[in-house]
A = this chain, B = another copy of it.
Amino acid sequence: LPVDGTGSALEAGVVHQTSLSEIRSTPTRCAACPIRAKALFQVIADEYLREAEGLRVGQYRLPSRNHLYHERDAAAMAYTLFSGWLMLYRSDSDGSRQGLRVALPGDFVGYTPMARANYGHAALAVTDVTVCAFRQSDFHEMAGRDHVLGREIAEIQARDLQRCEGMVLDLGRKSAEQRIAHVLLELCLKLKQRELVADDATSMPFPLTQEMLGELTGLTPVHTNRVLRKLRGEGLLLAERQRIEIFDLDRLTELAGVGTGL
């Protein structure tokens, strides 16, 4: 029963009951989860939602610090995140991690339309997590049958690419402060869009460790800490365990120096 945080949740695409446990009494409709209107199926009409629901393989629970999948795993499944936070990252050859994106409830992760592909990144549960699993092949087929859906999935992918390019810009051109400000703002915005946090809230849940925040921003945990303290010193925010409070959203936004598109 290795809950060492490194155990594989999926092995070659097969569900591994070690850390990924099926929820047999599915209480809620999955694809039509409360967040749907704002998230994965953001752009997808109800008829697809119902069909997608039919394709669902199962709903699973994954404890904090376990992996949903690893980089080299064959990408057999895609998931919608029902509850909890995931961090998607890619590892360097020396073992250090570079965060790619944080997935919040409603996000769609692991979809890879390439034939015989690996995921290419790992997905780590930051908190306890609930996901709905779909077979990639079912998704492909469904997208193939209906080109409107196919087009909408293409849009999701295009958005992911533009986000990734924004990250390249940050890592290549921005200071540590700016990168941290940007990540925090992005998360804050996303939480509000999904109504996981009130629109006028000044503080938000924040289960990422400072080390993870550093992984996302290309920084050392030590330096991440110093930057957070500096931002606190400037009255911009307060980072506590499991929670972040943003005092001055406008100044933080200005500091982040984001153009359009966040």
Interface residues of A (CB under 8 A from B): 72, 90-94, 96, 98-100, 112-115, 117, 120-121, 140, 143-145, 147-148, 150-151, 153-155, 157-162, 164-169, 171-174, 217-218, 257-261
Contacts and interface: CB of A to CB of B under 8 A. Distances in A.
A144 B147 contact: yes
A150 B155 contact: no
Nearest to A90: B169
A115 B172 contact: no
A153 B113 CA distance: 9
A114 B164 contact: no
Given A145-B147, A154-B157, 5 more contacts: A90-B168, A115-B155, A117-B158, A144-B151, A164-B168
13 contacts: A92-B174, A92-B259, A100-B165, A113-B155, A114-B158, A120-B165, A120-B261, A150-B151, A153-B154, A157-B161, A164-B165, A164-B168, A172-B217
For the complex of A and B, the 8 pairs showing the least CB-CB separation, nearest first, are A172-B218, A171-B171, A144-B147, A113-B154, A98-B172, A164-B164, A92-B173, A98-B169
